[in-house]
Amino acid sequence: MKRLSHTVIKNAIVNVLRLGAGAIVALILPPTLTHVLEQDRFAAWALLLQIAAYANFLDFGIQTAVARFVAQAMERGDEKERDGYISTAFFLLIGSGILAFGVVCAMSWLVPYMFKQAPLHLLSELREGLILLAALSALALPTSAFAGVFVGLNKNEYPAFASGVSRMIGAGLVIYAVHHTHSLIVMAGIIGGMNLVGGISQYILARRILPDMCVSMQLVTRSCFRKMTQFCAGLSVMSFAMFLVGGLDLTIVGYFQFSGVAYYSVASNMVLVVGGLAGAATSALVAPTAAIHARGEYARLGEIVLRSTRYLTQLLIIICFPLLLMGTRILTLWVGPVYANASVHIMDVLVIATAIRMLGGPYTSALIGAGEHVRVIFSPIFEGVSNLLVSVIAGYYLGPIGVAIGTLAGAVGGISLHACYNMPRIHDIRLTGSQYIVECILKPTVDLIPALVGIYMAVTESIFGVLVRLMLLAAGFIVTSLLCIRRTSSSQNI
């Protein structure tokens, strides 16, 4: 257990650092772009990035599949099987890249019909930028197979370094470029080019770690292809559902109210920090749970989900509470008062929605590691479809915040189905719905309430007297510490 805990914690920290680089990019770019670019051009840039990101949803979960199958092959010491899965994934991703390029090019043709309120002079730039970024993303997509190799080897630090450095350099180049040109095409080329450099770097690092690794069409066997496609069938459904959840929000906002795209983009960029940190922590579970499943140790999976979800709940509360408490102040310091006042309520809804959806991350990762995700495809479909329907209807009547409400509705539906529908049916992960809600969500939340109340009273000055507020703050932290210590001691007996 200690070895597994060490591996999961190490990979989670590395993933946090990797996605932390993405979070830093999401945090440092908007202040520059909102001050240098006019609002409509910034909105067009945000739409360009989201539509081009459709390519990432078309990897059909192949990177995750590589991580699982490589982890199991290495557990058995079968290098030929390992190379077979890597080769199969690489050539499948080449096909996915071609498909992704075609899809984004089709979207670029539809741009004038989708965003009728956009200024005409931006449409041609938006089209050309989309095509350029889609081409570079399609070239980089096959290299994601090697990111999966590192995850399967529990060496997450290598893709973290490659992608993190390339993203940071890309952000720096965009900031430099935007002070000399406002061209969306130039900015798209920089982002796409650095993503490609990051992907190539991952391949080079993979060759150094596995010098005997062979990627060849001859290694693509019928058995590897069948297992990979069967495993990815469920992941493709989940990926499509996540596309409905997070891949269409800006597009829907732009269709109904182009002027609201900039404000929604600011809010969603701030929320990316929440989703990125939580997703980094939970994605580290895939390879270890796959290895446990390969050894037939099914009883440990429920305990892993229980503990990791409990810790994730506390992490999400700690991250989200300051955003909800001081959202306007934070946004004002970040992008200025105009964007802050128009974005804060959208951000509040998205923060809550993202936190609720992320609570299902450890269970989903364990399902993928155990290969049981194909049995729970109804819940992501329900979340994605309900998200889309509510976003379209509420977006029509309420504007950008209606789209955010759609995200919240989908998140509540998805986590409810996990507890009420999925957990009773999946016996390899021994965790009941009531245990999940009470032990993983409610009790950790209650543990933090005293500290949160103390912080609220201290920050909002709802009680007069600095000394009294400091005493309440200290008391809140003491009570929370005692509750957390008691919870930790009791969990060790599980």
Rounded CA-CA distance 394/17 in Å is 36
Tell me whether residue 376 is in a domain: yes
Shortest CA distance to 136 belongs to which of 156, 157, 166, 176?
Answer: 166
Task: Determine contact, residues 327/273, Cβ cutoff 8 Å.
Answer: no
**HEC profile for 341-360?**
HHHHHHHHHHHHHHHHHHCC
Note the residue count of the chain.
494
Tell me whether residue 52 is in a domain: yes
Tell me whether residue 437 is in a domain: no
Q: Which residue has the higher pLDDT, 128 or 159?
A: 128
How many domains in the chain?
Answer: 2
Coil, strand, or helix at residue 382? helix
Over the stretch 159-200, which tens digit does the pLDDT of each residue have? Answer: 767 777 788 888 888 888 888 888 888 988 988 888 888 888
In a shared domain, residues 463 and 346: no
Give the confidence band of 207 by pLDDT, cuts at 50, 70, 90. Answer: confident
In a shared domain, residues 181 and 230: yes
Q: What average pLDDT does the segment 367-372 reach?
A: 72
- pLDDT for residue 209 is more than 60: yes
Over the stretch 458-474, which tens digit does the pLDDT of each residue have? Answer: 777 666 667 777 777 78
Q: How far is CA 204 from CA 69, 135, 150, 196, in A?
A: 21, 21, 12, 13
In a shared domain, residues 425 and 454: no
**H-state helical runs in 39-119:** 39-52, 54-57, 62-76, 79-114
Domain end marker among 431, 465, 485: 431
Tell me whether residue 438 is in a domain: no
Coil, strand, or helix at residue 248? coil
Q: What integer pLDDT is reported at residue 109 of this predicted model?
A: 85
Block residue for tokens 């005493």 = 471
Supply the mean pLDDT for the chain.
Answer: 79
Q: Domain containing 20: what range?
A: 2-431
In a shared domain, residues 348 and 468: no
- Cβ burial of 467 (10 Å; 0-12, 13-18, 19+) is exposed
In a shared domain, residues 454 and 424: no
Q: What average pLDDT does the segment 25-30 reach?
A: 73
In a shared domain, residues 419 and 458: no
Highest mean pLDDT among 193-197, 238-242, 378-382: 193-197
In a shared domain, residues 217 and 153: yes
Q: What is the largest CA-CA distance in the chain?
A: 75
Domain end marker among 431, 457, 479: 431
Rounded CA-CA distance 362/358 in Å is 8
In a shared domain, residues 394 and 479: no
Over the stretch 65-97, which tens digit does the pLDDT of each residue have? Answer: 777 777 777 767 777 878 888 888 888 888 888
In a shared domain, residues 170 and 207: yes
Rounded CA-CA distance 13/19 in Å is 10
Task: Determine contact, residues 41/186, Cβ cutoff 8 Å.
Answer: no
**HEC profile for 110-161?**
HHHHHCCCCCHHHHHHHHHHHHHHHHHHHHHHHHHHHHHHHHHCCCCHHHHH
Q: What Rg value do the Cα atoms of the chain yield, rounded?
A: 23
In a shared domain, residues 41 and 138: yes
In a shared domain, residues 250 and 303: yes
In a shared domain, residues 454 and 402: no
Tell me whether residue 176 is in a domain: yes
Q: How far is CA 455 from CA 319, 458, 472, in A?
A: 13, 5, 8
Block residue for tokens 């450095």 = 165
pTM reported for the whole predicted model: 0.78
Rounded CA-CA distance 235/445 in Å is 31
Tell me whether residue 493 is in a domain: yes
Tell me whether residue 172 is in a domain: yes
Q: What average pLDDT does the segment 145-149 reach?
A: 80
Tell me whether residue 381 is in a domain: yes
Q: How far is CA 291 from CA 394, 426, 432, in A?
A: 44, 18, 23
